């Protein structure tokens, strides 16, 4: 694993409690003779305020690990703590409490095309009881302005470019001020400039809000935004001397 953080930053991280802590995690797909192991003895800590990028070849297990960290898959073997909550044997209610503190950004945007940009963002707020009595339209408009879409607030998703849709997805993920943001290939469908703009917006807002980002990508053009780079290959975390930031 290649780090871009300074020695003082690393020393500070060593004394800070991680927001995600993985120990001896294994994961499998299939049953019986078709059962195949996809993750092997994963050990990893992600710290508050850190921007970590996970990279590596296709099929190496990055998205599977990200989905486990996001509470989107059930833990099979090993230990996983998210924001202090052990995920092994977690109840549905505890799982929902963890998920509400995580923002998700996916390559495919997952926007509802029959809603406007503002309405797509507002949906995220409506999932949190503490925002129901607040000005959710105003909060949605403000975060869209922050990602550079002040003139697209009332546009439907189908009327937005790929980069603009991804900005809406970022706004939706960050409007509730999550403690963790998990992003899976957020620049994969974007050109160089749009991809760069998207990750810089994500970086700026996350640092402003003090949340942690874990970003999975094949895009070597954005590795320099990371505090730390985690390399995965064949279901294992590994050092990669070829990564240069």
**In the predicted structure, residue 10 carries a pLDDT above the cut 60:** no
Q: What pLDDT score does 187 carry?
A: 84
Angle in degrees, CA 3, 183, 17, rounded to 5: 55
User: 42-52, pLDDT tens digit by residue?
Assistant: 999 999 999 99
Residue 136 CA to residue 35 CA, distance in Å, equals: 46
**Does some domain include residue 146?**
yes
Q: For residues 24 and 141, what is the distance between their CA atoms, to the nearest angstrom?
A: 43
Yes or no: say if 221 and 243 are a contact pair by the CB < 8 Å rule: no
Average pLDDT over residues 229-239: 92
State the alpha helices, DSSP H only, in the chain. Answer: 7-14, 62-69, 92-99, 117-126, 136-146, 162-174, 192-209
Does residue 69 belong to any structural domain of this protein?
no
Q: For residue 134, is it within any domain?
A: yes
Is 235 a domain residue?
A: no
Q: What is the pLDDT of residue 109?
A: 74
Residue 240 pLDDT grade (very low, low, confident, very high; cuts 50, 70, 90):
low
160 within domain boundaries: yes
Domain that includes residue 122, residue range? 112-175
How many angstroms separate the CA atoms of 164 and 147, rounded? Answer: 9
Confidence check: pLDDT of 41 > 50 = yes
User: Does 56 have pLDDT greater than 70?
Assistant: yes
Confidence (pLDDT) at 129: 87
Does 190 reside within a domain? Answer: no
pTM across the whole model: 0.85
In a domain, 166, yes or no: yes
The per-residue pLDDT for 15 is: 55
- Mean predicted lDDT score pLDDT of the chain: 87
Region of poorest pLDDT, from 12-21, 41-50, 172-181: 12-21
Q: Domain count for the chain, please give it.
A: 1
d(Cα 119, Cα 125) in Å, to the nearest integer? 10
Asked whether residue 201 is assigned to any structural domain, the reply reads: no
Mean pLDDT of 14-39: 90
Most confident listed range (126-135, 194-203, 229-238) = 229-238
**Nearest-10 Cα torsion for 157, 158, 160, 166:** 50
To which H or E segment does residue 180 belong? strand 180-184
- Of 79 and 32, the structure prediction assigns the larger pLDDT to 79
Tell me: pLDDT of 3 over 60: no
pLDDT, tens digit (0-9, with 9 covering 90-100), for 69-123? 998 898 999 999 999 999 988 898 999 899 999 999 887 778 998 999 999 999 9
């Amino acid at each position: 694993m290649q780090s871009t953080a300074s020695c003082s930053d690393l020393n500070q991280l060593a004394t800070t409690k991680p927001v995600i802590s993985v120990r001896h995690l294994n994961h499998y797909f299939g049953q019986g003779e078709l059962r195949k192991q996809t993750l092997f003895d994963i050990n990893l800590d992600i710290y508050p305020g850190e921007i970590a990028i996970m990279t590596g070849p296709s099929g190496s297990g990055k998205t599977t690990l990200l989905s486990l960290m996001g509470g989107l898959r059930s833990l099979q073997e090993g230990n996983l703590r998210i924001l202090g909550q052990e995920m092994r044997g977690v109840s549905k209610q505890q799982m929902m409490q963890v998920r509400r503190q995580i923002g998700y950004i996916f390559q495919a945007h997952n926007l509802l095309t029959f809603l406007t940009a503002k309405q797509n963002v507002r949906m995220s707020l409506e999932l949190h009881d503490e925002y129901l009595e607040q000005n959710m339209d105003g909060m949605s408009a403000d975060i869209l302005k922050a990602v550079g879409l002040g003139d697209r607030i009332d546009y439907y998703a189908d009327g937005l470019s790929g980069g603009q849709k991804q900005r809406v997805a970022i706004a939706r993920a960050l409007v509730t001020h999550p403690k963790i943001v998990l992003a899976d290939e957020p620049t994969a469908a974007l050109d160089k400039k749009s991809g760069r703009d998207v990750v810089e917006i994500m970086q700026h807002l996350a640092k402003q809000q003090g949340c942690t980002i874990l970003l999975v990508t094949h895009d070597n053009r954005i590795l320099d935004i990371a505090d730390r780079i985690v390399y995965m290959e064949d279901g294992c975390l590994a050092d990669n001397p070829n990564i240069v930031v």
